[in-house]
Every structure is written in C-alpha cells, then in structure tokens.
C-alpha cells in the first residue's frame, strides 16, 4: 500500500524526491529515491526534511554514519538503543547490495517480535525508514558494500542494546551462508519470556 508518492506543493515548488510505502510492520516504511539521470550519471536525494516529515521523521539528524563491509555474506546486527536515546534510522545502500532487516521490539505492538526484510542496493535506490523501538541489521549479498545511516539520536554506549541475529524466537531467514560476524553481534543475548519489549 503506497503511503504517499510525495507530490507536495510549497511556494509553487513541487517536491517529488521520495516515495514512501508502508510495510507489514506499523511505522516501518520503505523509501524509494527518485533518480535523475543523464549521460554523466545520476543525482538522488538521500534526505528531504519536508518530505520525510510526512513519514514520521520529526527530529533533526543527530548523526550520519558511513559503513563499509567487504565480504559477501557478512552480517551486522541486530542493534538498537533504549529510551531516552531511542532513534529513528534512515538506511541507504550506496554501493553493492544487502538484505536489510528490522525487528519490532515495541512493547504492546501488534507486530511485536516480527521482522521485515528488504533488499537495498546502489542500483534499486531503495532505503528503509526504521522507527524508534526497532532493532536493525543486515547481511551483504555482494562484495564491498557501503551503507549510509542517518540517525535521529546520537550514539550512547550506555543505551546500546542488541538481539541475536540467530535467535530462534525471531527465525530470521538470512539468505546466504554466514561469512563473517563480529563476536559482539554473535553473542547478543537470546530473547526469552522475561523480555516484554521496549517502552517508548
């Protein structure tokens, strides 16, 4: 279901850089960037405050991270921050291709502990807009992948949280054999009945 093919008029100017679509998890959206191409290459807008406002991004960008992962099949994740440092993320792949995964950890959510996977690549121009209260991670499906993360909150080590990417409660269907994962990510705790979710 298309949330909004952005076509906003402001002072006679039509904004049409980003197209948002709802996913099966409330608040989690895919973002498709409009590519403007010519013989030189292309231009696409990674962030537009006016258009993203309608998709729920209401805070300033607090941090931008550029991540490179060299091996195909590598996993990073699944990361989040506890309140009051919970963050929205806009995740874009600018080189290679990944399967990007978001897990709903929000207490009381009808899709609590459900996950969504989307292919992001430098070619398809898609991004994932991840609300507060979600864990996020990805697996590379190409070599030499680079992602850009926009965060609505800065990194706070004391608020850092993670869920295990191999947790049987989640049963995430990673598409490739795992080639590499950090010890920190491999050792994230498993979810048990004591975990009631993140209270936002």
- Give residue 11's region: left, alpha or beta (phi > 0; psi -120 to 50): left
Q: Residues with Cβ < 8 Å from 52, sequence gap 6 or more?
A: 18, 90, 129
Q: Active-site residue 85, yes or no?
A: no
Q: Active-site residue 79, yes or no?
A: yes
Residue indicated by tokens 């507060």: 132
Which H helix or E strand runs over 177? none
**Where do runs of H (alpha helix) occur along the chain?**
49-52, 183-186
Active-site hit among 79, 136, 151, 188 = 79
Active-site hit among 66, 136, 149, 155 = 149
CA dist., res. 22 & res. 183, Å (int): 34
Q: Residues with Cβ < 8 Å from 117, sequence gap 6 or more?
A: 99, 100, 101, 172, 173
| Catalytic (active-site) positions | 79, 149
């Amino acid at each position: 279901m298309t949330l909004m093919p952005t076509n906003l008029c402001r002072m006679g100017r039509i904004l049409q850089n980003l197209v948002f679509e709802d996913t099966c998890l409330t608040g989690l959206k895919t973002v498709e960037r409009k590519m403007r191409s010519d013989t030189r290459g292309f231009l696409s807008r990674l962030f537009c405050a006016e258009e993203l406002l309608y998709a729920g991004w209401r805070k300033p960008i607090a941090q931008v991270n550029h991540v490179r992962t060299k091996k195909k099949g590598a996993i990073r994740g699944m990361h989040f921050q506890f309140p009051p440092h919970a963050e929205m993320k806009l995740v874009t792949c600018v080189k290679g291709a990944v399967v990007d995964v978001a897990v709903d950890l929000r207490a009381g959510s009808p899709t609590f502990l459900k996950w969504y996977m989307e292919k992001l690549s430098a070619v398809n121009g898609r991004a994932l807009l991840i609300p507060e209260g979600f864990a996020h991670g990805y697996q590379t499906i190409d070599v030499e992948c680079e992602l850009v993360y926009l965060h609505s909150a800065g990194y706070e080590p004391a608020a850092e949280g993670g869920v295990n990417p191999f947790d049987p409660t989640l049963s995430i269907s990673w598409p490739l054999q795992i080639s590499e994962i950090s010890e920190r990510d491999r050792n994230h705790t498993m979810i048990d009945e004591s975990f009631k979710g993140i209270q936002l």
